[in-house]
Amino acid sequence: MNNRFPTNSVGLVKPRIIHFEEPLELACGRILPHFDLVVETYGELNRAASNAVLICHALSGHHHAAGFHTPEDKKPGWWDEYIGPGKPIDTNRFYVVALNNIGGCHGSTGPRAINPATGKAWGRDFPPLRARDWVHSQSRLAAKLGISQWAAVVGGSLGGMNAMRWALEYPDRVRHCVAIASAMKLSAQNIAFNEIARRAIKSDPDFHNGDYLSHGTLPRNGLALARMIGHVTYLSDELMGTRFGRELRSGTFERGLDAPIEFQVESYLRHQGDSFSEIFDANTYLLMTKLLDYFDLAREYGDDPVAAFSHAQCKFLVVSFTTDWRFSPQRSREIVDALIAANKDVVYANIESDMGHDAFLLPNARYEGVFRAYMDNVAREAEQLVRNA
Amino acid sequence: MLQPELDIVQKWITPGSRVLDLGCGDGMLLQSLGSSHQIEGYGLEIDPERITACIAKGVNVIETDINKGLAHFPDKSFETVLMTNSLQALMRPDRTIEEMLRIGRECVVTFPNFGNIRARTYLGVKGQMPVTKQLSYQWYDTPNIHFCTVKDFETLCLEKNISIIHRATVSSHAIDRQLMGIWPNLFAETAIYHLSK
């Protein structure tokens, strides 16, 4: 059955739910009495457990990073471009762990899960989260999978923040940190876009102040609008120009005809928003955008990124994309400058791309080359550790 | 970079120090200094293929357009700032050298000496811009836009109050090596300077 898939695909994959019985104390002071993580793994953990790679997802991401869930699936996991046999994150060499983080809505404990205190879905009462809560829950996962040190913790966008937080929270448990299209903190403009998205959700009459599940409704319009706003910021002006231009999907500007005019870009955005609103949870969206807004790598280190990174023990790969205006190359360069000042090993590439922020998910020969060259060294190190074991 | 040039540059690097290499190419020099001198090295490069070559070697390479300035590097944040064979490709070599001396306590600069007898003869006799094995570009496609001679470079140092700690010269021609001690501007193929301010 697997031969229906490309040879460089991990093929059919199956998510599994891992239950954690021990309570998790959160950064906000509240306690999650127990939690589930939905996880996918690709490849084999070697006998020294030195080849594990953690994939950290972005705002709307989840555990399905590569491969297909059914032979009929048209679309593979969200980072299939870069995870698979012979791909930069080579599943022939690495044991890849992808998960849906707590607070998510794809099977891990989040606002849609049952609150043991009430017997009802958490909904808006789900505790606010910070990236470090994700790191701590992921460290429990590592322990359960028999991984005492990650060969690499890898993530794009919010996932890159998650990866950098790992490097600071558990310095001796990460050998490499890969932060792609990321930042040490959001800019005011970024927070502004997130707030517009949140306002869109909250003003939907079906939102019911976050209690939509018990009202048997979903704030579809609000969530779709939030996604449309987000989506525009993930693309570049150039990309929208080449992909849609001013092409019409229906209607005409001809005199005398009054058929309603719809631009291609309008229809595309509406489709993006509508399909997202069917699969994503509004409370998760609010929670995750807040987590993103509050992230500030150096806050606990006297607002000094150099002091923050001086705690790290791993090596870093930092990648940005030229037309990414949501997490601009400048933000990556700040990470790099702090790492250099902290005397840490770092590689930085600013990839030419007209794909905007989304470039980190999409095919790009140079990005792939950089990523592959770096991960190749990571894999070789992991293999050396097996020989030394 | 040729072995004699490398030998000279290595002598001027303090073991275990922080080194920044401007235009680090495929990372060969940083890799070599890493194993011989245990330096904490970073290289700046703009060419995509060379950047990937650096990554493959495990060299810390930072994609940077040196012509856009080096303002993000703090004053005296490196012991040595190196630039081998890139001076002539910069938009404003004078400004970059000033920046190098701001960022590093010391600098090492190497460049092809355009005052070399063979370059002079090529232009003088053939009446054409020199095309040599070392500088194999045509005038229209060369990345080398600011050629200078040993004499030009030392004039710049004088104007900018830059101290020359050491000067060394290399040549691939045995006979030139005999003469370049006396007439560096005429016989040096590559000039190597150790600078401070």
CATH assignment of B3-114+147-196, among 3.40.50.2000, 3.30.70.360, 3.40.50.300, 3.40.50.150 = 3.40.50.150
A332-365 residue pLDDT tens:
999 999 999 999 999 999 999 999 999 999 999 9
Closest to A317 in 3D by CA, of A96, A133, A155, A98? A155
Measure in Å the smallest separation between the Cα of B192 and chain A Cα atoms: 27
Q: Is residue A104 over pLDDT 60?
A: yes
- Which residue in chain A has the smallest CA separation from B48? A366
Question: Which of chain B's residues have a Cβ under 8 Å away from the Cβ of A343?
Answer: 18, 40
Q: Among A288, A317, A338, give the residue marking a domain's end.
A: A288
Token pair, residue B127, equals 């009446």
- A356 lies in which domain range? 2-185+295-388
What parts of chain B have a pLDDT lower than 70?
A: none
Residues A129 and A166 in one domain: yes
Q: Is residue A135 over pLDDT 90?
A: yes
Q: Among A236, A254, A288, give the residue marking a domain's end.
A: A288
Query: What whole-number distance in Å separates Cα of residue B4 and Cα of residue B188?
Result: 13
Closest to B177 in 3D by CA, of B2, B4, B1, B3? B4
Q: Is residue A252 over pLDDT 90?
A: no
Residue A117: pLDDT band by 50, 70, 90 thresholds?
A: very high
The region of weakest confidence among A138-142, A322-326, A355-359, B130-134 is B130-134
Q: Per-residue b/e over A151-161, b at no fewer than 16 CB within 10 Å?
A: bbbbbbbbbbb
Residues A210 and A257 in one domain: yes
Selecting from B58, B62, B77 the residue whose C-beta is nearest the C-beta of A341 gives: B77
Measure in Å the smallest separation between the Cα of A71 and chain B Cα atoms: 36
Residues written for chain A: 389
What pLDDT shows up at residue B3?
Answer: 86
State how many domains chain A has.
2
Q: Is residue A2 over pLDDT 50?
A: no
Q: Do B52 and A370 make contact, defined as CB atoms within 8 angstroms?
A: yes
Residue A173: pLDDT band by 50, 70, 90 thresholds?
A: very high
Q: Do A337 and B72 make contact, defined as CB atoms within 8 angstroms?
A: yes
B154-164 residue pLDDT tens:
999 999 999 99
Residues A223 and A339 in one domain: no
Residues A132 and A179 in one domain: yes
In the 8-state DSSP scheme, what is residue B161? Answer: T
Measure in Å the smallest separation between the Cα of A123 and chain B Cα atoms: 45
Mutation for B interface: A318, A340, A353, A372, most B CBs within 10 A: A340
What is the CATH classification number for the domain harbouring A263? 1.10.1740.110
- Which residue in chain A has the smallest CA separation from B70? A337
Mean pLDDT in chain A? Answer: 95
What pLDDT shows up at residue A3?
Answer: 57
Could you tell me the residue ranges of all domains in chain B? 3-114+147-196
Q: Is residue A53 over pLDDT 60?
A: yes
Catalytic residues of A: 157, 324, 357
Q: Which residues of B touch A (CB under 8 A)?
A: 18, 40, 42, 48, 51-52, 54-56, 58, 60-63, 72-74, 77
Q: Do B60 and A347 make contact, defined as CB atoms within 8 angstroms?
A: yes
Residues A177 and A77 in one domain: yes
Whether the CB-CB separation of A386 and A356 falls below 8 Å is answered with: no
Query: What whole-number distance in Å separates Cα of residue A213 and Cα of residue A207?
Result: 9
Residues 307-346 of chain A whose Cβ lies under 8 A from any Cβ of chain B: 333, 336-337, 340-341, 343, 345-346
Calculate the CA dihedral of residues B14, B17, B18, B23 and round it to 10 degrees: 30
Q: Among A259, A288, A317, give the residue marking a domain's end.
A: A288
Residues A263 and A357 in one domain: no
Q: Do A343 and B18 make contact, defined as CB atoms within 8 angstroms?
A: yes
At B41, phi and psi to the nearest 5? Answer: -110, 145
In the 8-state DSSP scheme, what is residue B32? Answer: H
Residues A172 and A212 in one domain: no
Residues A90 and A164 in one domain: yes
At A353, phi and psi to the nearest 5? Answer: -160, 145
In the 8-state DSSP scheme, what is residue A349? Answer: E
Residues A91 and A123 in one domain: yes
Query: What whole-number distance in Å separates Cα of residue B44 and Cα of residue B58?
Result: 14
Token pair, residue A55, equals 């994939």
The interaxial angle of helices A188-202 and A282-294, nearest 10 deg, is 160
Question: Which of chain B's residues have a Cβ under 8 Å away from the Cβ of A341?
Answer: 74, 77
